[in-house]
Amino acid sequence: MKNKTERTYFDRVHTWGRLWSVGALITLLLVPVSICVHFNAWPPMQEVFKALIKVLPIYWGTAVVEVLTYTPMLGAGGTYLSFVSGNITNLKLPCGLSAMENAGVKANSEEGEVISTIAIGVSEITTTVIIAAGVLLFAPFLGTLTDPDSVFSPAFTYVLPALFGALGAGYFRKHWRISVFPILIGIAVLLFAPTLPAGTLLFATIVASIGGALVFMKLKWI
C-alpha cells in the first residue's frame, strides 16, 4: 500500500508538473504572437532563425545542466514549480535548501520533497505579493532610488552577492573542508571564462564538490 501511495503521489506531481510547464511555455509564446497579430507586424523568419542559431546552443546547454543540477537538490515538485515560476538561482533554490536544512531533512527523502515543494510554493506567493506591493508603493520614486547617481544605487548592485554570501556562509562554516575545493574551482573557472552562464558554473562547482568530498573521504580527512 505504501509503494502504491508513493507512486500515486509522484505520478500526480509529474502529470501536473508537465501540464503546467507546457501551459507556461504556450503562454509565453502567445505574448509575442498576440502582439504580432494585433499590429499585423511579423518579423522575417529568416532573421529570427539567424538570431536563434547564435543563442540556442548556449541556452539549450544551460537548460540541460540546470535540470540535472537542480532536480536532485529540489525534488520533483520543487523543480517543476521553480521552472514554471522562474527566478531559481537567487530565490527558489535558496528557499528550498534553507527550508530543508531548518527542518533537518535531506533533499532526496520523502520529507525533503514535501518541504521543498511547500517552501518554493510559499516563496512564489510571497514574491508575487511583495512585487505587487512594491510596484504600487514604490513606483512613483523607484527610478530615483535606482538611478546611478543615487546613494542607494550600490545596494541594488550587490543584492544577489549578499544573498548568496549569507546563504553560503552557514554551509561553509559547517563544512569548511569540503567547501575549499569547489570555491577554488569556481574562481578558476571565472578567471578563464568570466562570461560563463551561472547554470554551467553551478554545475561545475557541484561536480567539484562531489569529487572533492569523495577524495577527502578516501583520505579520511572528513
pLDDT tens for each residue of 142-171: 777 778 888 888 887 787 778 777 777 877
pLDDT tens for each residue of 213-222: 888 888 877 7
pLDDT score at 10: 81
Q: What is the mean pLDDT of residues 64-73?
A: 85
Label residues 163-178 b or e (16+ Cβ within 10 Å = b).
eeeebeeeeeeeeeeb
Q: Is the predicted pLDDT of residue 1 greater than 50, yes or no?
A: no
Give the model's confidence band at 211: pLDDT under 50 very low, under 70 low, under 90 confident, else very high. confident
Residue % of the chain over a pLDDT of 70: 95
Give the model's confidence band at 4: pLDDT under 50 very low, under 70 low, under 90 confident, else very high. low
The C-alpha atoms of residue 216 and residue 222 are separated, in whole angstroms, by 6
- Return the H-helix or E-strand segment holding 126: helix 110-138
What residues have CB less than 8 Å from 204, skipping those under 6 apart? 185, 186, 189
The C-alpha atoms of residue 179 and residue 184 are separated, in whole angstroms, by 9
* Of 13-22, 60-69, 87-96, 203-212, highest mean pLDDT: 13-22
pTM of the predicted model, to two decimals? 0.66
Label residues 111-125 b or e (16+ Cβ within 10 Å = b).
ebbbbbbbbbbebbe
- For the chain, the domains span 175-222
- Is there a contact between 180 and 173 (Cβ–Cβ < 8 Å)? no
pLDDT tens for each residue of 99-124: 998 998 888 788 898 999 999 999 99
What residues have CB less than 8 Å from 72, skipping those under 6 apart? 107, 108
Can you spell out the DSSP letters for 62-79? Answer: HHHHHHHHHHHHHHHHHH
pLDDT tens for each residue of 183-201: 898 899 889 888 877 767 8
Q: In whole numbers, what is the pLDDT of the chain averaged over residues?
A: 84
pLDDT tens for each residue of 6-27: 567 788 888 999 999 999 999 9
* Of 33-37, 43-47, 149-153, 211-215, highest mean pLDDT: 33-37
- Which residue type sits at 45? M
Give the model's confidence band at 3: pLDDT under 50 very low, under 70 low, under 90 confident, else very high. low
The C-alpha atoms of residue 117 and residue 188 are separated, in whole angstroms, by 34
